[in-house]
């Protein structure tokens, strides 16, 4: 009886052992220190300022639009638009405030940039390093006359001619065209300098023979659509006027001899008011957004990408925003080398030609 009792525990132990052999316990995994998960880098917030133009000017409205469009579409840039006294004042501000170079966008024309580089008035010392990032609006100036006998620049000898106010783009460009491009400046009977409204009135009154006038221009074709500025529209509606033709070669000569970005814009023949349809070669300058070359490449790419992707929204802020399209943002009247390298690289990546 005692032997049988001893056999029971032995049998039980054997059964337990067999079960253990049939269902082996998995070996424990070697423990290794758990590495902390690295969070995705968060782009540091950055404040940007845009210096534009006086309140109410189209470039002020479109600069305000740029600020609003960037703020809606960037997770790390916040932009404020600031009213300013204009292109020259914007460049002087940056010249005097190096601390603003890395976070400021300014409205300029390519011509003003070269004025700063050459220390031409109103600049009293050279300022370099400005780079283009996007077109705002193209403008085109031309000479109008009410005398049908005045057809070309060579007919201006002995005549009275009105140019823009001294020291600004609208005085420099036509003067260089007349002087370096056509060689007739010294033969002109009298040169006066005024704003477009005064030039319009002088031509209507007959106190000058030829007046500089202007238009907005837009489109990505070789021949641009155009719309006269209010003073020019009033002139064309009041009096029969004719275009004074400028040969394309004159623009090249003026650019090479002056060192300024003087380019020709070809306009479609269009009729306005009482005047017959005319198009012709025009003096081209681009109001555009510029930054200092020290602005970080990532900031520039973010700004350019948002402008490009939302280009068609600018016209909802101001009619002249029609000139900002995905096809035209890199078409500024300046050489490619005047673009910020990050802007030029981005525009080429999306298939655009950069500059002239």
Position 331 in a domain: yes
Among 185, 187, 235, smallest CA distance to 215 is for 235
- Give the residue from 262, 284, 306 where a domain finishes: 284
32 burial level (CB within 10 Å; 0-12, 13-18, 19+): exposed
Q: Do residues 333 and 243 share a domain? A: no
Q: What is the CATH number of the domain that holds 70?
A: 3.40.190.10
Position 261 in a domain: yes
Position 202 in a domain: yes
Tens digit of each residue's pLDDT (9 = 90 or more) over 289-345: 999 999 999 999 999 999 999 999 999 999 999 999 999 999 999 999 999 999 999
The more confidently predicted of residues 82 and 21 is 82
Does the pLDDT value for residue 27 go beyond 70?
Answer: no
Q: Report the pLDDT averaged over residues 268-295.
A: 95
Position 290 in a domain: yes
Buried/exposed 278-296: b ≥16 CB within 10 Å, e otherwise: bebbbbbbbbbbbbbeebe
Does the pLDDT value for residue 23 go beyond 60?
Answer: no
Q: Report the pLDDT averaged over residues 135-141.
A: 95
Return all residues near 17 (Cβ < 8 A) that are at least 6 apart.
Answer: none
Residue 84 near residue 54 (C-beta atoms within 8 A): yes
Q: Do residues 280 and 290 share a domain? A: no
CA separation for the pair 180, 161 (Å, rounded): 17
**Which pLDDT band holds residue 56 (cuts at 50, 70, 90)?**
confident
- Give the residue from 284, 306, 335 where a domain finishes: 284
Does the pLDDT value for residue 128 go beyond 70?
Answer: yes
CA separation for the pair 325, 224 (Å, rounded): 14
Q: Do residues 318 and 273 share a domain? A: no
Determine the pLDDT at residue 8: 40
Return all residues near 167 (Cβ < 8 A) that are at least 6 apart.
Answer: 121, 122
For the chain, what percent of residues have pLDDT higher than 70?
Answer: 88
Number of domains in the chain: 2
Among 310, 146, 147, 323, smallest CA distance to 227 is for 323
Tens digit of each residue's pLDDT (9 = 90 or more) over 82-126: 999 999 999 999 999 999 999 999 999 999 999 999 999 889 999
Q: Do residues 145 and 275 share a domain? A: yes
Q: Do residues 67 and 190 share a domain? A: no
For the chain, what percent of residues have pLDDT higher than 90?
Answer: 83
Q: Do residues 210 and 319 share a domain? A: no
Q: Do residues 163 and 273 share a domain? A: yes
Domain that holds residue 220: 139-284
Tens digit of each residue's pLDDT (9 = 90 or more) over 166-218: 888 899 999 999 999 999 999 999 999 999 999 999 999 999 999 999 999 99
Does the pLDDT value for residue 53 go beyond 70?
Answer: yes
Q: How high does pLDDT run on average in the chain? A: 89
- Give the residue from 257, 284, 311 where a domain finishes: 284
The enclosing H or E element of 3 equals helix 2-22
Position 30 in a domain: no
Determine the pLDDT at residue 354: 97
Return all residues near 221 (Cβ < 8 A) that are at least 6 apart.
Answer: none
Determine the pLDDT at residue 42: 56
């Amino acid at each position: 009886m005692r032997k049988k009792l001893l056999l029971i525990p032995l049998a039980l132990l054997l059964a337990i052992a067999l079960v253990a052999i049939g269902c082996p316990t998995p070996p424990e995994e070697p423990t290794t220190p758990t590495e902390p998960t690295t969070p995705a880098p968060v782009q540091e917030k950055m404040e940007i300022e845009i210096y534009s133009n006086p309140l109410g000017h189209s470039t002020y409205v479109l600069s305000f639009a740029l600020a609003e469009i960037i703020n809606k579409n960037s997770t790390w840039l916040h932009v404020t638009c600031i009213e300013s006294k204009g292109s020259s004042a914007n460049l002087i501000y940056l010249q005097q405030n190096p601390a603003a170079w890395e976070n400021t966008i300014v409205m300029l024309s390519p011509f003003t940039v070269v004025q700063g580089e050459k220390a031409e008035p109103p600049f009293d010392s050279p300022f370099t390093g400005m780079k283009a990032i996007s077109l705002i609006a193209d403008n085109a100036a031309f000479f109008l006359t009410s005398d049908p006998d005045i057809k070309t620049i060579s007919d201006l000898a002995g005549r009275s001619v009105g140019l823009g106010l001294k020291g600004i783009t609208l005085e420099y460009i036509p003067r260089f065209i007349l002087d370096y491009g056509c060689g007739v400046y010294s033969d002109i009977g009298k040169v006066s300098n005024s704003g477009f409204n005064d030039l319009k009135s002088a031509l209507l009154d007959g106190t000058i023979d030829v007046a500089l006038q202007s238009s907005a221009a837009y489109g990505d074709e070789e021949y641009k659509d155009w719309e006269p500025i209010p003073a020019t529209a009033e002139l064309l509606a009041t009096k029969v006027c004719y275009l004074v033709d400028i040969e394309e070669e004159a623009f090249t000569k003026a650019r090479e001899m002056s060192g300024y970005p003087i380019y020709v814009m070809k306009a479609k023949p269009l009729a306005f008011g009482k005047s017959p349809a005319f198009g012709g070669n025009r003096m081209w300058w681009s109001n555009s957004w510029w930054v200092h070359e020290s602005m970080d490449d990532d900031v520039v790419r973010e700004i350019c990408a948002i402008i490009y992707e939302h280009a068609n929204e600018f016209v909802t802020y101001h009619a002249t925003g029609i000139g900002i399209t995905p096809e035209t943002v890199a078409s500024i009247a300046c050489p490619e080398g005047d673009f910020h390298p990050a802007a030029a690289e981005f525009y080429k990546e999306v298939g655009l030609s950069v500059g002239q």
